[in-house]
Structure 1
Amino acid sequence: MAKVFGVVLALVGALMAVPGLWLISLGGSWYYTLAGAGLIASGVYYWKGSLRGAWIFGAVFLGTALWAVWEAGFAVWPLVPRLVAPMVLAIAAVLLIPSLNDGRGRAASVIAALLLAIGIGGFFYGMATPQGVIANAAPVARTPLGEEAGVEWAHYGRTPSGTRFAPFDQITPENVDQLEVAWSYNYGDAPSGTGQDQNTPLYVDGLVYHCSPNNIVSAIDAVTGAQVWRFDPEASSPLWQRCRGVTHYRPTALEGAQTDAEGTCAARIVMSSVDARLIQLDAKTGALCTSFGEGGSVDLTRNMGEVRPGFYFPTSAPTVMGDQIILGGWVWDGMALDEPSGVVRAFDGRTGEIVWAWDIGNPEIETLPPEGETYTRGTPNVWSTPAFDPELGLVYLPTGNAQPDFYGSSRVEAANDWNSSVVAIDARTGKVAWKFQTTYRDIWDYDVPSQPMLYDLTNAAGETVPALIQLTKRGQTFVLDRRDGTPITEVQDLPVPTEGGVEPDYLSPVQPYSVGMPSIGAEELTEARMWGATPLDQLYCRIRFRQAYYVGDFTPMSEQGTLIWPGYFGGMNWGSGTIDEERGLLIVNDTRVAHLLQLLPRDVADSLGVEVVGPHDGLAPQDGAPYGAMRSNFFSFVGVPCQEPPYGTMTAIDLETQSILWQRPVGTIEETGPFGIRTGWRMPVGLPLVGGPISTSGGLTFYSGTQDYYLRAFNSETGEEIWRGDLPLGSQSTPMSYVGPDGRQYVVVTIGGLNDFMGRGDIVMAFALPQE
């Protein structure tokens, strides 16, 4: 056995020492080469049957332990790749000592092995326990909103303010463990490929409204789950099929031709489709409202110029403000300079006629472009969901990036003023009231992904200030006066790097930081923060880190390959956050995955002939620009993010003190693991998260967008996870809640599965307390 173990040690040592030399040449740690050389020497002596092998191994192990604590401290996750595998080897090493020492020391070797096994058990206990938990929980004052807040979920964010707060308190921390499935509905359009069910249903007048990835709308009885009607627009797109929401609309006046027939279309469901149509349906029957547009729909590609299949359509719910339907659209990122316009348009909700247009590239266009022209192509788009304040008459638009995503010098000039911003538009005229830019000259795909949240704050003088709270992919949260865009909490323009990339003259030397609010998940990367399940994949990640160009936030894009951190998945993304309006808590989920992006000269990009597999990975051709871009997740060879866990957390921020109240990792590896293999272990590592949370008057925060199959409930005041409801598959949606005609509070989640490998579904599921 000693000979076999000697071979194993020598092999492991070689796998550390040789790549370790590569790491040294890149300016990295010497540990792996030194430890690897020691393991090789130890292995040779174990092969020879010499006790010297054990002494050398002991020295390597002691040095490893000292190095691990010196570099990583005593936190569990950083120590796992540094110590657990060496401890496993150490057990074998000490158990073999008697065979090297004429049988002497058997009892001592067994004791040492037991102690090492206990240590490994301690690590596994730590991995089975949430790490990095912040718990500053203190009594939180509550101001109940009362019954006037309503029982419906009538907008994407429940109200036009987008706070996702449900003022219902039947379900509480004391009884949430009694929740059971009240009904389940199959809508018959399970996603596949790049499609996802990311829908947050509505609840209005006793019906739940769901739209599928291919825009099939179902009206479901809110008490029984029975189908009331179903409408299939027969929409199709070559990729990215999704419908995050529909909108309920009651026209203020219907006269003459605006009324389809007696009593029909008095209330309507408004939806945009994956083939770029704006459609209206009778909310009670599902029939097309034929007086709207042409037979019930408006072609959103009109006046846009060439729109290739899949290159343009709205993914988010239309915004209905008064009798106006306001919407932008998603554009297939990174394909070409000459892509469809990011124009935002307002349509008359009764007729479908255009009321106003906001074209960033040509402010002279107020409705339609001049005959023979189009809306300005390649401009920043608004693909997320706006919020609006009916009293101020303002609609708040979160803008995206201009084309191409990762090279700025070829863009239309107007993009520099409007990309990655919050823009307040006068809903009557379509004119800009104010704007606030969250990233200057964005080449990192840091478009503003989350719906703005409107919530009134009290300042130090005791005055009520109407605020807008904007989450970003950067992990920064900006708090603005929604009347004029002035920051309420402090924002500073801080220096950032501009050298080392391909366009230093284009980049902004400063970027805005919301220093008055906590930053979430944006701590700078270092080689020491690279991670792996073992020293070998950690070494791989260290080498990749050193190979990449990374000098902190806003590292310029390069041909070398630039690390983007936070990555363009977030931070915070389209799921947005929630505000517990009674407790003054902002609750957000975030994702922590870095991206590696390499700019490829035009001739190189064109010669690859690589099929574009999706909007966020693989080759971004960026046709018309000097560079294409090769995009990848910054993962190890076992398919795990290269930086240390957690990879996703839930955080509550006290809006009165602007400080973190609690934070905890969310998600286990039960349904996934290294190489994507299911582990069945509820290890709460905290995985990348999608969708968003909702909060309730009952003091609960519900969330379902994890890579394991649960609807979770957290105590909103303490962050404690107090309930998990089993789901048949993974969910990527934001839940919603309502009080039905039967007086019961329901929590509803849509379940479409995570990917084709892990299984797909077509389920809308409602949970409620048992009927008395």
Structure 2
Amino acid sequence: MAVVISGLFCIIVAIALGVGGAKVISLGGTWYFAIVAAGFLLTGALLLMRRRTALWVYALLMLGALGWAVYEVGLDWWQLAPRGSIIAPFGLWLLTPWIARRLGWQHFGFRAWGGAALPLMLAVVLWGGATVYAVGHDSHDIKGMLPTPLAQAPAADDAVPAADWHAYGRSQHGQRYSPLAQITPQNVDRLEPVWHYQTGDLRGPDDPDETTYEVTPLKVDDSLYLCTPHNLVIALDAETGQERWRFDPKVPHSVNRQHLTCRGLSYHAAPQPSDGKVCQQRLFMPTADARLIALDAKTGEICPGFGDNGEVDLWANMPHVKEGFYYSTSPPVVARDVVIIGGAVNDNVRANEPSGVIRAYDVYTGELKWNWDPGNPDETAPIAAGETYSPSSPNSWSISSADEALGMVYVPLGNQVPDQWGGRRSENSERFSSSIVALDLDSGELRWVFQTVRHDLWDMDVPAQPSLIDIQTENGPVPALVAPTKQGDIYALDRRTGEPILPVREVPAPQGAAEGDWVAKTQPASALSYEPPKLQSKDLWGATLIDQMMCHIQFHSLRYEGRYTPPSTEGTLVYPGNFGVFNWGGVAVDPVRQMVFSTPAYLAFTSKLIPREDAETTYVSEQEPFLNENFGSPFAVELKAFVSPIGLPCTAPPWGYVAGADLRTGKTHWLRKNGTVRDRSPIPLPFKMGVPSLGGPMITAGGVGFLSGTLDYYLRAYDVTTGRELWKARLPAGGQATPMTYQSRSGRQMVVVVAGGHGSLGTKAGDSVIAYALPR
């Protein structure tokens, strides 16, 4: 019976691989699956006839498969695993006594292992040896060391007291670097939880998928301040984690919102000592219903002199007003007594969206001081009552930075909707989409613009806060801006002029846009880049050989000519996808070591343009806010992750790394795969495959970096010099936020992480704020 079952199994596998393999061949792909199918078919037939020749045939199949696998991918364990997932275990099964005795051996012994079984035994041993070697040898990491810090390196940004964390990236420079050095590579493994606070703000059944905890708390004096997805503002005692006050802005529910996210608050202190008046120290929070609220940091009460009873209406002067279609998910920038804010729009719902205007308000009165509209960039004086800003102009949904000494704010801009079709974009939209703009802090006038993608058709918004750092060059220190992008480039620009410090070259881009559209002939590429190599057939993955074959069918059915392959009606593979190599978490920069600590991630997506017959029919969505319908444009768009039928990526791991690069040279000195699939597999397997992270890194003067954003639920610590993981702590939920650090009033350096999960990533939801410190 065992031989019959084995024969039937071979034939079933042969049919599956044969049908799929024929499809792959018809699409211009490899003959490998069809050849393996033939081997399984012949083996199955011989087993059913109880011929020992079946073992010879299968041995040849195994040896051929191993040879082809090593030729394609070398001794990479995670690439070998799906290729041998059916072939190798079945070869071992054929050597068991249940098969040998049924093939004519009366006694299972030496004779059974000789003759026809010997080649098969050799094939099994070779597969086993290759597996053992591959498991113990990592072919992906770069195990190097960053150079020692410069003897006279530029000092860390000291505008914020060393013990505090006053802004999203610690200061308005957005470095995510702390000068604290109590925690070091030598003692970080002694970190322990100090307190654990739960906000009580949990995801509701009617909330959008993008209900996420992405907040980085602020620390001012002896208080910690944070916001929650539903815009609660909470103050905690920074030493004990006990709640001091909370504020609820009463944001009404809306089915139109794409996001419920609050990445953080902004802080401002009056220059004069407190004279008993309220709001000497104030917090600013944007809400999901498009308000900007000012609160007294000491009490949590609204600041009545700001705007209309403590709030400014961000819908003012907006075109195409529709509740839920405009709001800010990111904290504003506070500099030179103005609070500067952009906003997010719902992606790809309508061709006519609210404006992407950037506005600056007086921090005390809420008076509009200037507005910079990407659709009308030369008119920055406050708009008159009754007038509206330019509709559908590129918006800034991420975090900006500011340099008060130079008098500029640096704003990362997104794309004009529709993201995947740009046939009707204006001249100004073409100039500012997917770019970084430097605006004058006092007037809002444009000082310079640097575009990272020309005529963006891939939703490659500049997603992260630019980090400001002085880079030491041969000609002395240069005030620089470090900007990570979704496509994997990290640009280092002179923040005075926007000129590149690290080289930027032009690379040819694939052509052939959809009807009515066009594609830029070249695209910029930075010398410091984590752009993945162009995908090839050998890079395709799957949990099993059949799963991998299905990915081959998808791959060869899609249009793909490398990065920037235009969207199409037949379907296009976008790699890296719009999840981004880097996203809103950004990078951390060390002004002393002159390095950047980053977290590149690699996932592919597909986009398919669907011609619209009218302005009302829904093609890709079933409920409000009808994402990706693009009402009023020629195409809706179907966006999906490039995954196999069982939901695993069709691209091979690693999918996530941590990396350390020298900003003076652009050289990456270490690159290490990061994170496990423990919380993404049916059973908690701690395989260190390298998983994506969403949420930024933080580094300290003690030489330790921290990250919590991986798809497994851990806060990790790394040696900044080598990238080696030093310590990790299990979190109760997904940690898709950026950690921060401060010194408490008792003198302890605390590391705080928010673990609340991320709806669109499917990580576990929660409401935890946890502080860690060394034992007393």
Take 1:575 and 1:170, find their aligned partners in 2: how far apart are those partners? Answer: 25
Q: 1:400-452, CA deviations, whole angstroms, 9 ceiling, x for partnerless residues? A: 00111110012233110000111000111100001110000111101100110
Q: Which amino acid aligns with 1:633?
A: A
Among 714, 718, 728, the alignment partner of 1:714 is 718
Unaligned runs of 5+ in 1: none
Take 1:178 and 1:172, find their aligned partners in 2: how far apart are those partners? Answer: 10
- Pairing of 1:280-291 with structure 2 (within 5 A): 280-291=294-305
Q: Does structure 1 retain, via aligned residues, the 8 Å contact 2:343–2:395?
A: yes
Match of 2:506 in 1: 493
- Pairing of 1:327-726 with structure 2 (within 5 A): 327-363=341-377, 365-461=379-475, 463-499=476-512, 501-503=513-515, 506-514=518-526, 516-517=527-528, 519-603=529-613, 607-611=617-621, 620-673=628-681, 677=682, 679-726=683-730
How far did 1:74 drift?
2.2
Match of 1:53 in 2: 54
Match of 2:751 in 1: 747
Match of 2:244 in 1: 228
- Pairing of 1:727-742 with structure 2 (within 5 A): 727-742=731-746
Among 765, 769, 776, the alignment partner of 1:760 is 765
How far did 1:307 drift?
2.7
Q: Does structure 1 retain, via aligned residues, the 8 Å contact 2:377–2:446?
A: no
Among 276, 286, 290, the alignment partner of 1:272 is 286
Question: Does 123-132 or 292-301 show the bigger shift?
Answer: 123-132
Q: SS of 1:268's equivalent?
A: strand
Match of 2:268 in 1: 249
Question: Does 434-443 or 78-87 show the bigger shift?
Answer: 78-87
Match of 1:69 in 2: 70
Q: Which amino acid aligns with 1:241?
A: L
How far did 1:206 drift?
0.5
Q: Sort the Cα spacing of 1:127 and 1:301 in 2 relative to 1 into closer, same or farther, 3 A.
A: farther
How far did 1:92 drift?
1.1
Take 1:50 and 1:605, find their aligned partners in 2: how far apart are those partners? Answer: 66
Q: Sort the Cα spacing of 1:124 and 1:319 in 2 relative to 1 into closer, same or farther, 3 A.
A: farther
Q: Which amino acid aligns with 1:553?
A: R
How far did 1:65 drift?
1.1
Q: Does structure 2 retain, via aligned residues, the 8 Å contact 1:354–1:367?
A: no
How far did 1:213 drift?
0.3
How far did 1:467 drift?
0.9
Q: Which amino acid aligns with 2:510?
A: P
Take 1:656 and 1:705, find their aligned partners in 2: how far apart are those partners? Answer: 27
Q: Does structure 1 retain, via aligned residues, the 8 Å contact 2:75–2:134?
A: no
How far did 1:57 drift?
1.2
Take 2:494 and 2:12, find their aligned partners in 1: how far apart are those partners? Answer: 62
Question: Does 92-101 or 295-304 show the bigger shift?
Answer: 92-101
Take 2:716 and 2:141, find their aligned partners in 1: how far apart are those partners? Answer: 17
Match of 2:43 in 1: 42
Match of 2:30 in 1: 29
Take 1:504 and 1:68, find their aligned partners in 2: how far apart are those partners? Answer: 44
Take 2:123 and 2:609, find their aligned partners in 1: how far apart are those partners? Answer: 51
Q: Determine if the alignment matches structure 1 residue 312 to structure 2 residue 326.
A: yes
Q: 1:487-537, CA deviations, whole angstroms, 9 ceiling, x for partnerless residues? A: 1111112211112x31486221111111x22x2142111122110111111
Q: 1:198-256, CA deviations, whole angstroms, 9 ceiling, x for partnerless residues? A: 000000011010100011011000001100111111114433101001011113469xx
Take 1:125 and 1:277, find their aligned partners in 2: how far apart are those partners? Answer: 59
Q: Does structure 1 retain, via aligned residues, the 8 Å contact 2:162–2:180?
A: no
Q: Sort the Cα spacing of 1:768 and 1:528 in 2 relative to 1 into closer, same or farther, 3 A.
A: same
Take 2:132 and 2:415, find their aligned partners in 1: how far apart are those partners? Answer: 43
Q: Does structure 1 retain, via aligned residues, the 8 Å contact 2:291–2:311?
A: yes
Q: Does structure 2 retain, via aligned residues, the 8 Å contact 1:127–1:685?
A: no
How far did 1:47 drift?
1.3
Match of 1:200 in 2: 216
How far did 1:300 drift?
0.4
Take 1:130 and 1:320, find their aligned partners in 2: how far apart are those partners? Answer: 46
How far did 1:755 drift?
4.0
How far did 1:98 drift?
4.7
How far did 1:126 drift?
5.0
Q: Does structure 1 retain, via aligned residues, the 8 Å contact 2:704–2:717?
A: yes
Q: Does structure 2 retain, via aligned residues, the 8 Å contact 1:378–1:411?
A: no
Match of 1:212 in 2: 228
Q: 1:116-161, CA deviations, whole angstroms, 9 ceiling, x for partnerless residues? A: 4895597478558865111122552266858966211001100111
Q: Determine if the alignment matches structure 1 residue 78 to structure 2 residue 79.
A: yes
Q: Does structure 2 retain, via aligned residues, the 8 Å contact 1:215–1:243?
A: yes
Q: Does structure 2 retain, via aligned residues, the 8 Å contact 1:252–1:322?
A: no
Q: SS of 1:12's equivalent?
A: helix
How far did 1:76 drift?
2.1
How far did 1:44 drift?
1.2
Q: Does structure 1 retain, via aligned residues, the 8 Å contact 2:422–2:517?
A: no
* TM-score, structure 2 as length reference: 0.93
Take 1:147 and 1:19, find their aligned partners in 2: how far apart are those partners? Answer: 59
Q: SS of 1:229's equivalent?
A: strand
Q: Sort the Cα spacing of 1:123 and 1:209 in 2 relative to 1 into closer, same or farther, 3 A.
A: farther
Q: Which amino acid aligns with 1:637?
A: P
Take 1:765 and 1:561, find their aligned partners in 2: how far apart are those partners? Answer: 44
Q: Does structure 2 retain, via aligned residues, the 8 Å contact 1:621–1:628?
A: yes
How far did 1:185 drift?
0.9
Take 2:540 and 2:568, find their aligned partners in 1: how far apart are those partners? Answer: 21
- Using the aligned pairs only, state the percent identity: 38
Q: 1:350-387, CA deviations, whole angstroms, 9 ceiling, x for partnerless residues? A: 00010000011123542444444311010000111111
Question: Does 632-641 or 405-414 show the bigger shift?
Answer: 405-414
Q: Sort the Cα spacing of 1:721 and 1:525 in 2 relative to 1 into closer, same or farther, 3 A.
A: same
Take 2:189 and 2:122, find their aligned partners in 1: how far apart are those partners? Answer: 40
Q: 1:555-579, CA deviations, whole angstroms, 9 ceiling, x for partnerless residues? A: 1111010111111111111000001
Q: SS of 1:590's equivalent?
A: coil
Take 1:598 and 1:631, find their aligned partners in 2: how far apart are those partners? Answer: 7
Take 2:339 and 2:729, find their aligned partners in 1: how far apart are those partners? Answer: 37
Q: Sort the Cα spacing of 1:39 and 1:87 in 2 relative to 1 into closer, same or farther, 3 A.
A: same
How far did 1:194 drift?
2.5
Q: SS of 2:260's equivalent?
A: coil
Q: Does structure 2 retain, via aligned residues, the 8 Å contact 1:252–1:323?
A: no
How far did 1:553 drift?
1.5
Q: Sort the Cα spacing of 1:575 and 1:127 in 2 relative to 1 into closer, same or farther, 3 A.
A: farther
Match of 2:188 in 1: 176
Q: Which amino acid aligns with 2:745?
A: P
Q: Sort the Cα spacing of 1:472 and 1:195 in 2 relative to 1 into closer, same or farther, 3 A.
A: same
Q: Sort the Cα spacing of 1:110 and 1:670 in 2 relative to 1 into closer, same or farther, 3 A.
A: farther
Among 84, 102, 112, the alignment partner of 1:106 is 112
- Matched positions, count: 756
